Structure 1
Amino acid sequence: MFNFVKKDFLSLSKSKSDLLELLFMPFILIAILGFSLGNIMMGGTSNNTFNVGIVNEQNLERDLGRLENELVEQGMPAEIVAEMAAGAQESDPAAMLYELLEDESFADIMIVEEFDNLSSATQAMNEDEIAGFITIPENFSYHVWQSIYQEEDTSSALNITVNEAENMASIIIESVVTTFVAQYNLETSIALATNGQAEAENQTIQQGEKVQLSVEEPVSAFQYYTIGMGVMFALSTAPIIATRAFKEKEQHVFGRIMLSGTKPLTYLSSKMISGTLITFVQLAILFALSTLIFGTFKGRDSDFWINVVYTTGLYSILVGSLTSILTSISLYANDNRTVGFFGSFVSVFAFLGGSYIPVEQFSEYLKQIGNWTPNGATMTSYLQLLQGFDFQEVLPLMMRVIGMTVISLLMAVIIFPKRRLD
């Protein structure tokens, strides 16, 4: 078997067209895409600051006075009423929303503008002066105070109006407001449940476990395209070796190998091993050159490289199994068109797997489909490793790769002809 594998390596090394496809072309594409599309695709350009409006329709002084009068009518002592009124003013949700939106952490994202009424805010949005606006309706804070201090079943809601053309800005505005409402309700519930005892500690309360999903810098353009081009062109190894196997059959090399006493499955295994080793070497060279010239994976620790070796090894075995099944089909059918079809279909896998562009920008559904392709599942695993994930965390994706490998090998063994072919 060693001699068969050695023969495949030597044969490939003497083919300039195959070396061009497996090594030179992906490297050139990495350079082109990394330099030309990097800022566009990977978010290298800074986000433009957008304007957001606020329309406050409530009268704070009137609502505070109304609350105080109702508390007095309920027979509460003047000292308690004054204390509750002071607490209500401090916990005014409208004022807290203003404070959040004007926080320095949002300074590079949004600029807050106040409007006197809905018509002026709507006109500003229609003229693209603001991306949207938040309306604080009349009696908003008063209804919140009623539910807190008088335990009345009242509801109050903030209204959000956004410009549909400003998709990203709309998402940010809605996210900020939704998070604010959820946090305000949570802290208020805790304060009521503990009679205010937890109020001083609410800044340090942790809800559940804090999980850091990414401990690294965002994935760069060169990192993205090194992986994308690598996994895409690695798939080309399978049809290249399978085509050579079919030529060996046409030239009666396969027949002579069978006459020498070699078992058919030994020949098939040699193609699987050749596909695996060639793919591993191909990806190793590509990653090494990209790191050396573009600094793609420079500075990564040993754990990262160990995880990359695991992932590359599993993907290489999958490509080896695809090599074996393509070999089996072509020899069994005495036709190389299936191999050619798979070779032409690699570009479809590349698109679905995200080699050209992150497909989640088009549809999350496409991303889910892509993660069930051989290259897509592997590419997502590589990207997660780059973002600081451990191999155990990407194992569910790699289990898909393992499953595809097992199925491909079983089918290859079943289909492969067990007797000498004419």
Structure 2
Amino acid sequence: MLTFIFKDLLLFWRNRKEILTVLVTPIVLIVILSFAFSSVAGGSASPLDLKLAIVNEDAEEAGIRQFMADIERLEDQTAAQALMAHSADMKPIAYLEQYLHRPELADWLTVYELSEPEALQQLKEKKIDGWITIPQGYTYDMLNAIILGKEASAVSLPFTVAENSMNVTVIEMMISEFFDQMNFQLALQHSGGDRTAAEAVVMPEGGREALKGSEPFTMGQYFTIAMGALFSLFIASTVAEKTGTEKREEVIKRIVAANTKPMSYLMGKTCATFVLVWLQFLFVVVVSHLLLGLFTGKPLSFWLGLLLMITVYALTVAGISAFYTSISLRTNNMDAANGLILLFTMALGILGGNFVPIYLFPEWMQQISEWTPNGLMLATVIEWIQLERGMALGTPLVVLSLIGILFLFAGMLLYPKRGEA
């Protein structure tokens, strides 16, 4: 198998035109597209300017009184008195306002309190990015969840927007972070014996995790990952095209006549693709960083996470190349096969957001994007750039691995037996 790996690597190395295509072209496109779309994303130097409205449909004081009345009706009056003492200072809406009005957010987040018609009008006029609705019963249900641990039907904050944008994504992350912190504090409350409920829900000072999670990415970072992922797929299609050439020139027959193991040829193509994709993607990232300073100041943990994602993605593309290779060996019309493979690759590039920033697409198309290997890779790395949370890599790594395994398995099933190629 090593012989076949070296064969494919040498064939690729001898074709200087292909090397320039997969190494230089992505860099040129990254520079051009970064400047072309910088006005859309606001560029790396422009700070965020988030404008969020709060539509409060709940009566906080009434919710508190209703909850207190429920506690007073408890049979165990000692427990009731303790619960009333613990919940005396609890105001769920105030926790949300405290979270959104932190001093460190003041420079880039403006919060308005509006009625729903006012919020709708301002959203149409693009004066706000969206609004959070505090539904009726929010205070009462929140107190039931915090104090009594009951299921809360209204403990959610519907977020209304006109269209997807970078600002909308950041606000959604902030809302998610708020509930993550609340859930974490509730977990501490139910696991800690001597902590009072009021102590358990105090929001952490500073909120550094939320601030870090709100770091915007730049168009340079976006297109570096997008072009790296796209041209990796082109490498897989190029390997399949070379397979067709070897079949046309009867190289396959000579390999079969040499009595080699049938799968050695396929595994050689697969491993060679992995090496080529891994080197190409790494080259694009490093050179783009050196030219544009894309990841300046990022810690070692960020680079290790990025390297892990590139490695798993390279394995996925290698599995796809095995599928392409078997199709090329099975077909009698190589031009048609190469055309279909190229068409499939271009479709993945479009759906995966490799040509245009995916958040400019409709929401349904964004959801489809994450079902493509290149789209999932792009979305995961962008989230890694923003959050740098190890948990963000877990599920995408598993999904990418499964996609690669499925394509590899399909390629092995389709791989022709002796005498069929």
Return the TM-score normalized by structure 1.
Answer: 0.65
**What is the 5 A alignment of 1:177-326?**
205-206=202-203, 212=209, 215=212, 217-326=215-324
Q: Rate the CA distance shift 1:376–1:47 in 2: closer, same or farther, 3 A.
A: closer
Q: Does residue 9 of the first structure (1) align with residue 6 of the second (2)?
A: no
SS at match of 1:236: helix
Q: Does structure 2 conserve the Cα–Cα contact (< 8 Å) formed by 1:30 and 1:225?
A: yes
C-alpha distance in structure 1 between counterparts of 2:407 and 2:168, whole Å: 46
- 1:92 alignment counterpart: none
For residues 69-107 of structure 1, the C-alpha deviation after alignment (integer angstroms, 9 at most, x for no partner) is xxxxxxxxxxxxxxxxxxxxxxxxxxxx99999998658
C-alpha distance in structure 2 between counterparts of 1:272 and 1:19, whole Å: 18
**What is the 5 A alignment of 1:59-74?**
none
Q: Does structure 2 conserve the Cα–Cα contact (< 8 Å) formed by 1:370 and 1:377?
A: yes
Q: Does structure 1 conserve the Cα–Cα contact (< 8 Å) formed by 2:226 and 2:355?
A: yes
Q: Rate the CA distance shift 1:107–1:299 in 2: closer, same or farther, 3 A.
A: closer
C-alpha distance in structure 2 between counterparts of 1:248 and 1:302, whole Å: 43
- 1:346 alignment counterpart: 345
C-alpha distance in structure 2 between counterparts of 1:126 and 1:411, whole Å: 49
- 2:364 alignment counterpart: 365
- 1:381 alignment counterpart: 380
Aligned-residue Cα RMSD (Å) equals: 5.2
- 2:18 alignment counterpart: 18
Alpha-carbon distance, 1:206 to partner: 3.9
- 1:403 alignment counterpart: 402
Q: Does structure 1 conserve the Cα–Cα contact (< 8 Å) formed by 2:316 and 2:401?
A: yes
Q: Rate the CA distance shift 1:99–1:211 in 2: closer, same or farther, 3 A.
A: closer
Computing the radius of gyration over CA atoms, which structure comes out larger, 1 or 2?
1
Paired-residue identity, %: 25
C-alpha distance in structure 2 between counterparts of 1:288 and 1:126, whole Å: 41
Q: Does structure 2 conserve the Cα–Cα contact (< 8 Å) formed by 1:279 and 1:316?
A: yes
C-alpha distance in structure 1 between counterparts of 2:315 and 2:297, whole Å: 28
Alpha-carbon distance, 1:305 to partner: 2.3
SS at match of 1:4: helix
C-alpha distance in structure 1 between counterparts of 2:168 and 2:285, whole Å: 39
C-alpha distance in structure 1 between counterparts of 2:396 and 2:300, whole Å: 22
Q: How many residues align?
A: 351
C-alpha distance in structure 1 between counterparts of 2:324 and 2:163, whole Å: 48
C-alpha distance in structure 2 between counterparts of 1:246 and 1:99, whole Å: 64
Q: Rate the CA distance shift 1:277–1:36 in 2: closer, same or farther, 3 A.
A: same
For residues 316-359 of structure 1, the C-alpha deviation after alignment (integer angstroms, 9 at most, x for no partner) is 11111111111111111223223321212323212322223342
C-alpha distance in structure 2 between counterparts of 1:332 and 1:227, whole Å: 33
Q: Does structure 1 conserve the Cα–Cα contact (< 8 Å) formed by 2:349 and 2:355?
A: yes
C-alpha distance in structure 2 between counterparts of 1:125 and 1:410, whole Å: 53
